[in-house]
Structures are given as structure tokens and as C-alpha cells.
Amino acid sequence: MYTFSNRLKIGAIVLMALGVVGMGVGFVTVPSTPEEARNMVAAHDDGHGDSHAEEGEHPAAASEHPAEDAGHAAASGHDAAHDEHLMHQLQNRPWSAVYVAAFFFFMIALGVLAFYAIQRAAQAGWSPLLFRVMEGITAYLVPGGIIMFVLLILSVMHFNHMFVWMDSEVVAEDALLQGKAGYLDPTFFLIRAAIFLGGWILYREVSRRLSLAQDEADDNRNFVKNFRWAAGFLVFYLVTESMMSWDWIMSIDPHWFSTLFGWYIFAGMMVSGITVIAIITIYLKSKGYLPDVNDSHIHDLAKFMFGFSIFWTYLWFSQFMLIWYANIPEEVTYFVTRIEDYNLPFFGMVAMNFVFPLLLLMNSDYKRINWFVVMAGIVILAGHYVDVFNMVMPGTVGDQWSIGIPEFGAVCFFAGIFILWVFRALTKVPLQPKRNPFIEESRHFHY
């Protein structure tokens, strides 16, 4: 049995407290009037050099904000409409920071769930030793899912302007959005979200129950049932994951569309999920809780991190290159704004998500070195956070982005909950399944 170390628990609580403070600062400092927003941006520009040097970020477009805002009518500079738009962007920032972090951690848990289901459906012989770790991580689906759902409800209730299509005034002026109103309907949106979350959580709970029941059983009935549930879940997941990505991420830029988008999100989700499995496994092993896990298991996880990083890059490049190549105006604005306003994060994340893992995890000896895998994993996780950031922020805060207190606060807060919840779930049952039919294979696993 695993016991939650006090140091880790306190660390998680401290993270959450810091996060609450950071997020609070974010919400308190938003402007409430257009004039205030204009002044804030002006002041921000004056202090440009200092503030950005600290953050280590240099958004090239920050000082030339007025006319660059593609797709909007603000061509006449500092008029009232622009100021109001600016105010909305600044007001969105703390919300988006929370949303990005909430989605990022939720996505990790969901990615782990998909990986877990694949392992079960594929009858993998190497991974059963890690099932309890995966089940521990997917425990976060419940709180993470609830938080996501609450955030979506708050958006529908107009606490923020992240999803412009939820604003009936905007829709009234926009023929394109009217055309999509059949799908982008707030009520239907929430119903869909409830179905997705319900289905995922249901599978997680059922699978966990069967997995624990298998330990006590004297036949393989629960194992077979779990196999069937995994296959069924994967079908459900294939469909709902795509729709979730259209709903929760793609509709932030409601004029833009890409058929690949759902699978692109999937790849990011898988690689982050597997990375977290590897990191937590290494942590637990270093504390002596997973005696049978050997470096071959770590090697396999690192191979998956490597493979899915490349798969993610493949999808990222396919989506980017095809839109760049054809250069059709209605699609290409998506990347135009990102390259102009988010140059460093946009290309930086490709380096973090592709170049780093490619170079670090190519060597098979390195994939067996724990600290090496952890280092690569941290780069990958940071890279995928930036990936989500790049997908959400341009549609909500535009060129008024930065990575500062609200963003760090939100990440700290959700990291805190994640650690607290996941490790609490890990303390519930022994970390090694007892009677999985493949457990012997997994224990002997050597590659």
C-alpha cells in the first residue's frame, strides 16, 4: 500500500494556495471599463522592456497592437469600439488562463484513460504492473471533469467572453455563426459536454471496479468484462474526443475549421498522458513502491513518449502545412494570427514537442535512465501546455497575451489538485494488481 507522503501533500496544498492567489490577482486586475483597458495597455507598453525581460517572453506584436487585429473591424485605431474589444480581451485573460490549465490537466487524465483502455483492449503483456498507476491518474477525471463542466457553464452564463458564439449580439451580426447555430447552441453544447464527461467517467469507474474485483476473483470473468468495456469505450472515445475538441477548443475560433483538429488534440493528449504515467511511475518506484517495475517498463513508456511526440508533430505539420500551402483566406487567418502574435510560443512549442524528445529519447540507453526520462517528460509537458495555450489564447485574448501571474497561478492550482487527487487515489489500493492474467508476463517483462 502506498502512503501519501506528507511533504508531497503539503507541497500540493502550497501549490494550490499559491495558485488561488495568482488566479485571484489575475481576476482582480482586469479592467472594468474601456478607458481603463486603454490606459492599462498604454502603461504596459511603456514598461515594455522591463516586464518582458522578466517573463522571458517577447511578443513581437505587443507594441503594435491597434491595426493588427485580423478579422475584426478595428481599422480606425483608438476608437471606442476598439477599446471595448481590448477590454474584453483583457477581461478574458484570467478566464483563459484558468481554462487552459484546467483543460491541460483534464486532458492528461483523459489521455491516460485512453491509453489504459488501449492496453486492456490490446491485451498488452508488459503494462499490467502499471494499471494501478494509470487508474490513479484517471481518478482526476471526476474533479477535473466537474471543473471543466463548471467553466463551460460559466461561459454559457456570460461570465466571460471566451466563446464569442455564445453572445447572441455577435451572432446576430454574423451570418457564418448563424449558419452554425444548429450546432453551436449553448444548451446543446452543455448537453454534449455532459454526455462526453458522463461516458468517460462511467468507463473509468466501471473499469476500476472490475479491475479491483479481478484481484479478489477466482476466475477471469472480470478481466474479460473489462476487455469488452475497453473496446466499447474506445469506440465512444473515438467519436466523442473529436467532438469535444471541436466544442471546447475549436469553437473558440468559431470561424475557423479543420477536419484534422480532433486527432491533433488526441495526439497531444496521449503524449502528455503517457509522460505523466512515466513520471509518476518513476516517482513511486524511487520511493520503493513498485518493486517489480524495471527499467524495461520505463523504456517502453519512454518509447511511447517518443513515438507519440513524433505522431503529434506529424499531425501538427499536416494541419499547418496544408493550410499554409493552399493559403485559403478563411482558414489561413488562424495561423496568421498565431505566427504574428504568438511567434515564439508557436514555434517554440514545436521545438519542445518535437526536437527535444526526438534528440533526447532517440537513444535506447537514455530511455532507461530515470532522470533522463523525467527531464524529457518535463519539456514535453511544458510544450503541450504551450500547445493548448496557443490554441485557446489567440481566440480569447488576441495579442494581449503574456505568461504571467494568472497563467502560473492557474497551472499551480490545477497541478496542486491533480497531485492531491491522484496520489490520494493511489493510496486506496495496493499498487500491484494481483490476479491479472498477464501479470506474470508483466513481471518477467524484459526488453
Partner 1 sequence: MASHYEAPIRKPLVIGDKNYHDVSVDIAAPIEGRANRQWWIVFSIALAALLWGIGAIIYTISTGIGTWGLNKTVNWAWDITNFVWWVGIGHAGTLISAVLLLFRQKWRMAINRSAEAMTIFSVIQAGLFPIIHMGRPWLAYWVVPIPNQFGSLWVNFNSPLLWDVFAISTYLSVSLVFWWTGLLPDFAMIRDRAVKPFQKKIYGLVSFGWTGRAKDWQRFEEVSLVLAGLATPLVLSVHTIVSFDFATSVIPGWHTTIFPPYFVAGAIFSGFAMVQTLLIIMRKVCSLEAYITVQHIELMNIVIMVTGSIVGCAYITELFIAWYSGVEYEQYAFLNRATGPYWWAYLLMMSCNVVSPQVMWFKKIRTSIVISFVISIVVNIGMWFERFVIIVTSLHRDYLPSSWTMFSPTFVDIGIFIGTIGFFFVLFLLYARTFPVIAQAEVKSILKSSGSKYKKLRDAGQPLYQMPTEIAPAREVEVAEVTKPEETAKVGDLLSKLGTFDPDTDKADDLKKVKGIGPKMEQTLNQIGIYTFAQVSRMTDTEYRMLDEITGAFPGRAQRDDWAGQAMKLNKKS
Contact between 328 and partner 1 per CB under 8 A: yes
* Binding to partner 1, residues 424-443 (CB under 8 A): 437-438, 440-441
Q: Which residues lie below 8 Å from residue 201, measured CB to CB, with a gap of 6+?
A: 141, 142, 145
Output 246 or 401, the one with its CB closest to partner 1. 246
Residue spans of alpha helices (H) in 5-59 = 6-28, 34-46, 48-55
- By CB under 8 A, the residues from 298 to 317 that bind partner 1 are 310, 314-315
Q: How far apart are CA 137 and CA 118, in angstroms?
A: 15
d(CA 277, CA 303): 13
Indicate the residue among 47 and 182 with the shorter CB distance to partner 1: 182
Closer CB to partner 1, 180 or 368, in the complex: 180
Question: By C-beta, is 11 or 186 nearer to partner 1?
Answer: 186
In the complex, the smallest distance separating the C-beta of residue 366 from partner 1, rounded to whole angstroms, is 15
- The total of other beta-carbon atoms located within 10 Å of residue 330's CB is 11
Taking the C-alpha atoms of residue 195 and residue 197, their distance in angstroms, rounded to an integer, is 6
- Rounded CA-CA distance 187/330 in Å is 27
How far lies 228's CA from each of 137, 155, 206, in Å?
Answer: 21, 37, 11
* Residue 330 interacts with partner 1 (CB under 8 A): yes or no: yes
Q: Shortest Cβ distance from residue 382 to partner 1 (Å)?
A: 25
Nearer to partner 1, 318 or 333 (CB): 318
Determine, following the binding rule CB under 8 A, whether residue 447 of this chain makes contact with partner 1: yes
CB of 347 to partner 1, least distance (A): 19
CB of 90 to partner 1, least distance (A): 30
Contact 151, 143 (CB under 8 A): no
Four-point Cα dihedral 245, 249, 252, 255, nearest 10: -40
444 binds partner 1 (CB under 8 A): yes
CA angle 103, 307, 199 (to 5 degrees): 40
Q: Are 104 and 410 in contact (CB under 8 A)?
A: no
Q: Is 190 in the site for partner 1 (CB under 8 A)?
A: no
Give the list of residues 6+ apart from residue 347 with CB closer than 8 angstroms, or none: none
| Interaction residues for partner 1, span 241-300 (CB under 8 A) | 242, 246, 257-263
Decide if 401 contacts 59 (C-beta within 8 A). yes
Our CB check for partner 1 shows the closer of 1 and 326 to be 326
285 contacts 266 by C-beta, under 8 angstroms: no
Residue range at the interface with partner 1 (CB under 8 A); choices 2-10, 320-328, 342-350, 373-381? 320-328
Q: Of 129-188, which residues contact partner 1 (CB under 8 A)?
A: 176, 179-180, 183
Taking residues 200 to 229 in sequence order and writing x for each that binds partner 1 by CB under 8 A, - otherwise, the string is --------------------x---------
**Which is nearer to partner 1, 159 or 188 (by Cβ)?**
188
> CA-to-CA distance for 447 and 442, rounded, in angstroms?
11
238, 344, 351, 359: which one contacts partner 1 (CB under 8 A)?
A: 238
Pick from 155, 319, 337, 396 the residue near partner 1 by CB under 8 A.
Answer: 319
Question: Cβ of residue 103: shortest distance to partner 1, in angstroms?
Answer: 21
The single-letter DSSP state of residue 351 is I
Tell me the C-alpha to C-alpha distance, in Å, between residue 440 and each of 99, 126, 215, 434. 42, 9, 14, 10
Question: Nearest approach, Cβ of 178 to partner 1 (angstroms)?
Answer: 9
At closest approach, how far in Å is the CB of 176 from partner 1? Answer: 5
Q: Which residues bind partner 1 (CB under 8 A)?
A: 123, 125, 176, 179-180, 183, 220, 235, 238-239, 242, 246, 257-263, 310, 314-315, 318-319, 321-323, 325-326, 328, 330, 437-438, 440-441, 444-447
